[in-house]
Amino acid sequence: MISLTSPVRTRAHDWPAAAKLGALLIATLALAATQSPAVLALAFAGMAALYALPGRVFLSHGARRIRGLAPFVAVVLVWHLVTGDPATGLGIALRMITAVGLANLVTMTTRLSDIMQVIRRGGAPLARLGLNLRALEIGIALVIRMVPVLSDKGAQLTQSWSARSARKPRWRIVLPLTLATLDDADHVAEALRARGGIATPIPRTSSSRSL
């Protein structure tokens, strides 16, 4: 699986994955509980500063990962402008961008294997209750990996449309992007089936080992 870590080495790369994921959880809960646009704006500025500190290359790499939120942010802002509540729309947009930006910051500075190890340790008690940790780990890994892949495919479809027409693509790329997504999902499913699926491996008992 291709790594999503940053090409620029930062101090955050050496921090424990559990600490970064815990801080992300606390920050996300704080953002969800905050209603003040001023506080959300400060949080957004702090998130942007964290991207800018390692340098221009790190900042541009991170910005490319977040730009896929642009359509969702536009929909939220336009809707709340139409309904006459722009302050609420701005707050939702700032909360969305900041939360996704912080999550992206964690994935850029943390190896996927380290994230999976934290999930495996944290979910161990739930595994005793029947939770399929293998399915959870693979699902999270696929989300982390496929979101930027689909974002890149959307950008490529937009560029292809722009090269052939003066009109903006807008909704016209939705169908080909959906078909490409389904095709990728089919290939991933086939690859998983070829490797045994996502069922929890059955531990070998002493009697099975004796056989």
pLDDT digits (tens, 9 = 90+) for 13-65: 889 999 999 999 999 999 999 988 899 999 999 999 999 998 888 988 888 87
From 80, 110, 140, the end of a domain falls on 110
Q: By C-alpha distance, which of 176, 186, 184, 171 is closest to 156?
A: 176
Q: Where does the pLDDT of residue 186 fall: very low under 50, low under 70, confident under 90, or very high at 90 and above?
A: confident
From 110, 134, 153, the end of a domain falls on 110
Question: Is the domain of 106 the same as that of 122?
Answer: no
pLDDT for 181: 81
Question: Is the domain of 23 the same as that of 104?
Answer: yes
* CB of 131 closer than 8 Å to CB of 118: no
Question: Is the domain of 14 the same as that of 93?
Answer: yes
Structure tokens at 142: 């696929």
Question: Is the domain of 106 the same as that of 119?
Answer: no
208 domain residue, yes or no: no
- The single-letter DSSP state of residue 170 is G
Question: Is the domain of 99 the same as that of 15?
Answer: yes
Q: Distance between CA atoms of 154 and 61, rounded to whole angstroms? A: 17
1 domain residue, yes or no: no
3-state secondary structure of 60: helix
Question: Is the domain of 25 the same as that of 61?
Answer: yes
Question: Is the domain of 106 the same as that of 123?
Answer: no
| Total number of domains constituting the chain | 2
Q: Which residues fall within 8 angstroms of residue 112, CB to CB, at 6 or more apart?
A: 1, 3, 4, 141, 144, 145
pLDDT for 200: 54
Q: What percent of the chain has pLDDT over 70?
A: 88
pLDDT for 197: 67
Question: Is the domain of 119 the same as that of 93?
Answer: no
Q: Where does the pLDDT of residue 4 fall: very low under 50, low under 70, confident under 90, or very high at 90 and above?
A: low
Neighbours of 61 (CB within 10 A): 17
Q: What percent of the chain has pLDDT over 90?
A: 20
- What's the whole-number mean pLDDT along residues 60-80? 84
155, containing H or E segment:
helix 133-164
152 domain residue, yes or no: yes
Question: Is the domain of 181 the same as that of 125?
Answer: yes
From 43, 76, 110, the end of a domain falls on 110
Q: Where does the pLDDT of residue 199 fall: very low under 50, low under 70, confident under 90, or very high at 90 and above?
A: low
210 domain residue, yes or no: no
Query: Given a cut of 60, is residue 208 above it in pLDDT?
Result: no
Show the domain range for 180. Answer: 114-199
Q: Where does the pLDDT of residue 72 fall: very low under 50, low under 70, confident under 90, or very high at 90 and above?
A: confident
pLDDT for 90: 92
Q: Distance between CA atoms of 93 and 74, rounded to whole angstroms? A: 9
pLDDT for 210: 46
Question: Is the domain of 33 the same as that of 93?
Answer: yes
Q: By C-alpha distance, which of 78, 105, 103 is closest to 93?
A: 78
pLDDT digits (tens, 9 = 90+) for 120-144: 787 777 777 776 767 777 777 777 7
Query: Given a cut of 70, is residue 2 above it in pLDDT?
Result: no
Instruction: Indicate the pTM of the whole model.
Output: 0.68
Q: Distance between CA atoms of 190 and 106, rounded to whole angstroms? A: 30
